[in-house]
Amino acid sequence: EPEVTQTPSHQVTQMGQEVILRCVPISNHLYFYWYRQILGQKVEFLVSFYNNEISEKSEIFDDQFSVERPDGSNFTLKIRSTKLEDSAMYFCASREGLNSNQPQHFGDGTRLSIL
Amino acid sequence: AQKVTQAQTEISVVEKEDVTLDCVYETRDTTYYLFWYKQPPSGELVFLIRRNSFDEQNEISGRYSWNFQKSTSSFNFTITASQVVDSAVYFCALSEALNTGTASKLTFGTGTRLQVTL
């Protein structure tokens, strides 16, 4: 069964450094998302992406964050200057079509640790 | 604004017991979608079930069943004859039914940690 893949599984970065988290969504999916989960807390929406542009973003997704779909397969999340509070599990998700009732399929996540 | 509340922080049951996970939601939309996701100790998020707001028929799928009641804004999830492998955090989530072409986000509850012991 096709799945969303995320790399790396764990990223350790010094505070202030830039980090890029990578995702390969399911190939025929049209909608892409990033969520984050601070340890022990709920999953929070960051940004959604459709038709090569941001569809919606949350308050968390400030100027330090950006997303890109540089080619036909990858979907990346960049954090320009990481802070300690960016430490979290970051999940990429994709959804197939136009109906909101179709489930979002999640990758296994990237655990980001900021030192 | 949407909100999902899972009042049960943690539930512990003995294997073979039935367990119900509660979910209460708030939304101004008349059409919306509800989901349950499972997060096992390995950390991934696994889609389990979904329900449309206009379909209140409750269903059973294997050991899983759900009870959607629009009048009380609840979407409860039951595992029958629980097994140790069911131990995980379970998240209820809500999505708006937005216009075509809009990538509607999921709003998650805080999760219920289910521990199934022998």
The pLDDT value given to residue A28: 87
Tens of pLDDT, residue by residue over B62-75, are 899 999 999 999 99
The pLDDT value given to residue B101: 54
The pLDDT value given to residue A14: 96
The pLDDT value given to residue B86: 97
C-alpha closest to that of B63 among B76, B75, B81:
B81
Q: Rounded distance, CA A68 to CA A38, Å? A: 23
The pLDDT value given to residue A77: 97
Confidence grade of residue B103 (pLDDT, cut at 50, 70, 90): low
CA distances (Å), A70 to each of A4, A105, A115, in order? 17, 21, 28
Confidence grade of residue B41 (pLDDT, cut at 50, 70, 90): very high
- B35, B44, B52: residue with CB nearest A109: B44
Q: What percent of chain A has pLDDT over 70?
A: 97
Question: Do residues A78 and A16 lie in contact, with contact meaning Cβ atoms separated by under 8 Å?
Answer: no
The pLDDT value given to residue A103: 87
The pLDDT value given to residue A61: 96
pLDDT at B56 over 90: no
**Contact pairs from chain A to chain B, CB under 8 Å:** 72
Q: Rounded distance, CA A68 to CA B104, Å? A: 18
The pLDDT value given to residue B57: 72
Task: Give the number of other CB atoms < 10 A from CB of residue A69.
Answer: 16
Mean pLDDT, to the nearest integer, of A32-38?
A: 96
Mean pLDDT, to the nearest integer, of B40-48?
A: 92
pLDDT at A50 over 60: yes
Q: Cβ contacts of residue B89 below 8 Å, gap of 6+?
A: B38, B39, B111, B112, B113, B114
CA distances (Å), A40 to each of A37, A52, A88, B54, B96, in order? 8, 32, 10, 33, 26
Q: Cβ contacts of residue B58 below 8 Å, gap of 6+?
A: B65, B66, B67, B68
- B45, B103, B109: residue with CB nearest A50: B103
A74: its two tokens: 């990858």
Q: Rounded distance, CA B64 to CA B80, Å? A: 6
Interface test with A, best of B8, B44, B49 (most A CBs within 10 A): B44
Interface check A110 vs B, CB under 8 A:
no
Tens of pLDDT, residue by residue over A91-112, are 999 998 766 668 899 999 999 9
- A56, A101, A109: residue with CB nearest B105: A56
pLDDT at A113 over 80: yes
